[in-house]
Amino acid sequence: MPHRTFIYFILPSLLSMILLIAVPIFSAMTQSLFIAHKQVIIVSETCDPFGCKKETSVDAEATANLRVKEPLGIFNGFETYTNRNHLAAAEIKTSWNVATGWKDFFSRIMNLPFYKALAFTITYTIVVTPFVIVLGFLIALGTNSLASRLKGPTIFFSLLPMIVTPLIGSLILFWMIDADGIIGSTLQRIFNDNDLSLKASPALTWIMLIVYGIWHSTPFAFIVFYAGLQTVPHETLEASMLDGASLWQQKRHVVIPYLMPLIIFVTLIQLMDNFRVFEPIVGFNASANATSLSWIIFNDLRGEDALQLFGSAAATSMLTIIGVGILLIPVLIKIWKEFNSKTV
């Protein structure tokens, strides 16, 4: 396709992405390299409904004057990335020197907020993604072989978990898994343990969040694979049947290679979305036991203490993008290879 036609076709899409995604990413990147100017603190007499006292406050005008010359702030380089709230380079070095063994070193690192979040995020991504793909594929295969009258309702029901927005879906489930709710008390009855509470133990909270993630994302894989299954060329399938291939061999050697682009697509999307998980953590009030990278950002920007840490959030966002990039490397290599083989 000539370059000019290409540009015309892709221009609106590209423009919207550049304006609304690329520019903010660039601005976040810049912001993460700066910290605020020193605030000018003065002591003043503060009176409120409960009395007067001398307290420190910020001299807004003086501070604003400092900022006029350098509105971005003081250049901090990558310090924000290596401070305790992010990669914590100094703390890791100290821990390495002080730790009494691998286990101790490991637990010291888990004490750092970023790594605690990273642990959960990676676990979540690594567990949920394959489950979603496999389950979605199996359900799509199953639905495909159903009688056509049953297909409709099955598709419909299987799509349900994806339809509800995560924030509300997880809230509903939160109410249900509470120790006094229907799922919570049923579990207590099954395991015969009155103290069993999904919210109290970190391991159980992680499992609950992972199960929720699988429940919520499987329909996506299902519908994409199902759509793809409709386009598998019948001739190839029939040819393999004539060759005496078993059902499983058919699937493995005909269907899966054919669906490979879609499988790659779903893997891509799932890896990215699972790495950015945070809505279930908020919905399930699970931040005591599980935090994720996006949750840290959420906390920095929408934390309830009214002071927004833009630089910190920007740094964590950049780290998230880098993390996603690292995760995607195997998939991207495969795409690159396929693209090259196609153009050759």
Partner 1 sequence: MKMLSKITLTSTFMFLLVHATYAACGINSGSIRILANDFPAIHAVLSAAEKCAGGGVTFTKNTTKEHRTLVVAGLTANPAEFTSAVVANSSIVPLLNEGLIRPLNDLVAKHGRGLKKNQLITINGKIMAVAFMANAQHLFYRKDILDKASVGIPKSYEEILSAAKAIRAKGIMEYPFALNTKTGWNLGEEFINMYMGYKGQLFKPGTAIASVNNAKGVAALKMIKSLTEYSNPDFLTFDSNATAALWEAGKLGLATMWGTRGGTILDDKGSTSNITSNTVLASAPTVAGGSTPATTLWWDGFTIAKNISDKDAEATFIAMMNGISTEMVKANNNEAVWLIEGFVPGKASAGVFASASAGATPYPMLPYAGLLHSALGSELTEFLQGNESAQQALADVEAAYTASAKEKGFL
Partner 2 sequence: MIVAVFPFLWTLWGSFKVQGDFFSKADWENAIYGIRTLAETGGTFTGNGYSNAWIEHEFWRSAINTSIVVFFVVISSLTIGTLGGYALARSGYRYALWLLMLALVFRAMPHITLVSGYLLPFFQWNLWGHLPTTIIVLVAINQPFTLWMLHSFFLNIPKELDESALVDGCNRFQAFWHIIIPVMWPGVITTGLFSFLLAYNDFAVTAMLLSQENQTMVPKIASFLGSTQQEGEVMSAVAAVVSTTLPLFVLVMFFQRQLVSGLTAGAVKG
* Residues between 243 and 272 with contacts to partner 2, criterion CB under 8 A: 261-262, 265, 268-269, 272
Alpha helices for the chain (secondary structure H):
3-17, 23-31, 60-69, 79-82, 89-98, 102-110, 113-144, 148-163, 166-177, 182-191, 202-230, 234-242, 247-250, 256-275, 279-283, 293-302, 310-343
Work out whether 49 is an interface residue with partner 1 (CB under 8 A).
yes
Work out whether 283 is an interface residue with partner 1 (CB under 8 A).
no
248: Cβ contacts below 8 Å, ≥ 6 apart: none
Site for partner 1 in 179-218 (CB under 8 A): 179-180, 195, 197, 199-200, 202
Work out whether 164 is an interface residue with partner 1 (CB under 8 A).
no
Work out whether 156 is an interface residue with partner 2 (CB under 8 A).
yes
Q: Minimum distance from CB of 278 to partner 1 (Å)? A: 13
Q: Please give the angle made by the CA atoms of 185, 274 and 186, to the nearest 5 degrees.
A: 10
- In this structure, the number of other CB atoms found within 10 A of the CB of residue 58 comes to 13
Work out whether 145 is an interface residue with partner 1 (CB under 8 A).
no
From the list partner 1, partner 2, none, partner contacted by residue 182 (C-beta under 5 to 8 A by kind): partner 2
Work out whether 294 is an interface residue with partner 2 (CB under 8 A).
yes
In sign, the C-alpha dihedral spanning 169, 174, 180, 182 is positive
Site for partner 2 in 201-230 (CB under 8 A): 215, 219-220, 223-224, 227, 230
Work out whether 73 is an interface residue with partner 2 (CB under 8 A).
no
Work out whether 344 is an interface residue with partner 1 (CB under 8 A).
no
Report CA Rg, the chain.
Answer: 26
Chain centroid to Cα 206, Å, comes to: 14
Provide the mask over 95-124, with x wherever binding to partner 1 is found by CB under 8 A and - wherever it is not: ----------------x-x-----------
Span from 145-153, 241-249, 250-258, 299-307 in contact with partner 1 (CB under 8 A): 299-307
300: Cβ contacts below 8 Å, ≥ 6 apart: 308, 309, 310, 312, 313, 316
Work out whether 337 is an interface residue with partner 2 (CB under 8 A).
no
Q: Minimum distance from CB of 64 to partner 1 (Å)? A: 6
Identify whether the C-beta of residue 225 lies closer than 8 Å to the C-beta of residue 144: no
Q: Minimum distance from CB of 139 to partner 2 (Å)? A: 9
303: Cβ contacts below 8 Å, ≥ 6 apart: none
Q: Give dist(CA 191, CA 198) in Å, integer.
A: 12
Work out whether 140 is an interface residue with partner 2 (CB under 8 A).
no
Record the tokens describing residue 121, joined without a space: 């995020």
Judged by beta carbon, residue 61 or residue 235, the one nearer partner 1 is: 61
Work out whether 264 is an interface residue with partner 1 (CB under 8 A).
no
Q: Minimum distance from CB of 171 to partner 1 (Å)? A: 11
- Choose, by CB under 8 A, the member of 121, 289, 292, 317 that binds partner 1: 289
Helices 113-144 and 256-275: angle between axes, nearest 10 degrees: 150
Span from 70-78, 91-99, 106-114, 182-190 in contact with partner 2 (CB under 8 A): 182-190
Span from 11-19, 50-58, 63-71, 130-138 in contact with partner 2 (CB under 8 A): 11-19
Judged by beta carbon, residue 80 or residue 143, the one nearer partner 1 is: 80
DSSP 191-211: HT-TT--TTT-HHHHHHHHHH
